[in-house]
Amino acid sequence: MIFHSNDVSETERIGAELAKDLKPGSFAALYGDLGAGKTAFVRGAVSVLCKDAPVCSPTYSIVNRYDGEIPVYHFDLYRINDDDDLYSTGYYDIIEENAIFFCEWCEKCPQAIPDGAIKIFISREGDGRRIEIADTFT
Ligand SMILES: Nc1ncnc2c1ncn2[C@@H]1O[C@H](COP(=O)(O)OP(=O)(O)OP(=O)(O)O)[C@@H](O)[C@H]1O
Ligand SMILES: [Mg+2]
């Protein structure tokens, strides 16, 4: 499915729409350049899943956890260089939890993205963004 977003609030709204379809174990893999709008998309989704949780970019922390009815983990793999790095963050244990997962910069660690992940590709399109959601189950 392809969406066109003219500003950050539209990207948040598209994220919020997707969130309604997510269940425990869902893994949303985000792809796109610096400043594409990945964190904005996740902010919108988390606003539905974990009311009032403040979403910030986990670029330095690698992972943020937000508490909702179902816990949500938000990863950013930008600073991960290899699988050993990723392993040491606890990523592989965390993704076995009964939670919902968002992961930015999945192009950094393609081998680490679970089969069945929902893939979200965000790119610039004029002043706006093109957002493609590829659900492997549909
Ligand atoms: N249509 C749009 N959707 C999302 N963000 C937009 C849009 N138009 C402009 N922006 C701006 O682009 C930036 C997106 O920032 P955001 O942190 O979400 O990107 P990111 O993809 O997570 O970047 P990073 O790779 O650094 O994590 C914000 O400054 C936002 O205001
Ligand atoms: Mg980001």
- CATH code of 78's domain: 3.40.50.300
Distance, CA of 112 to CA of 83 (rounded, Å): 8
The three-state secondary structure class of 105 is: coil
- Confidence grade of residue 53 (pLDDT, cut at 50, 70, 90): confident
Please check the confidence at residue 24 and state whether its pLDDT lies above 50: yes
CA 104–ligand 2 middle distance (angstroms): 6
**Which ligand sits closest to the CA of 36?**
1
pLDDT, mean over the chain:
95
Range of the domain at 122: 2-135
Structural domains of the chain, count: 1
pLDDT in tens, 68-94: 999 999 999 999 999 999 999 999 999
Distance, CA of 18 to CA of 16 (rounded, Å): 5
**Which ligand sits closest to the CA of 6?**
1
Per-residue pLDDT, 113? 97
Distance, CA of 82 to CA of 39 (rounded, Å): 22
Per-residue pLDDT, 52? 86
Atom 30, ligand 1: residue with shortest CA distance: 8
Please report the atom of ligand 1 found closest to the CA of residue 32.
21
* Ligand 1 interacting residues, C-beta cut-off 6 A: 5-8, 10-11, 32, 34-40, 57, 59, 104, 128-129
